[in-house]
Amino acid sequence: MLDKITRLADLPARAAMSAIFILSALGKVSAFDMTQGYMEAFGVPGVLLVPTIAFEFGAGMALLVGFRTRYCALLLAGFSLLAAAVFHRDFSDQIQQIMFLKNVAMAGGLLLLAKTGAPGQSIENLISRRRRSA
């Protein structure tokens, strides 16, 4: 029963966790100069914006389709914690405190995905089934 629940929850969980990274990457593209200025205001070199967009979008899509799920989830968890520490450390501002905790919660969910992989509908599962039947 637990295995069935895990398989059924897998795709919606990955979709929910990947959405924030995919949409964030697209938002950064549409507000490139503003995002670059925001990063630089926190001491992060603006030249890192393009690799950040590529990482968020690529890892988010890989997570969504279930490709290298454990690795992507682990990297995205680290990215979320790093972003929290750099951009959301002003705990006197309640919004920043909530954003920090949101990133920590996302990291927790991503670590669970790193533990379970993608046992449901995923590229990993498809490849695994084909190997077993070959």
pLDDT digits (tens, 9 = 90+) for 40-87: 999 999 999 999 999 999 999 999 999 999 999 999 999 999 999 999
- Residues sharing a CB contact under 8 Å with residue 48, sequence separation 6 or more, in sequence order: 39
Dihedral Cα 49, 51, 52, 53, nearest 10 deg? 90
Q: What type of residue is 60?
A: G
Number of domains the chain contains: 1
Whole-prediction pTM value? 0.92
Q: Quick: pLDDT tens for 76-120.
A: 999 999 999 999 999 999 999 999 999 999 999 999 999 988 888
Q: Range of 51's domain?
A: 2-133
What's the confidence (pLDDT) of residue 50?
Answer: 98
Identify which of 86, 85, 101, 80 has the alpha carbon closest to the alpha carbon of residue 24.
Answer: 80
What's the confidence (pLDDT) of residue 133?
Answer: 82
Q: From CA 75, how far away is CA 16, in angstroms rounded?
A: 17
Instruction: Assess contact for 134 and 23: CB atoms under 8 A.
Output: no
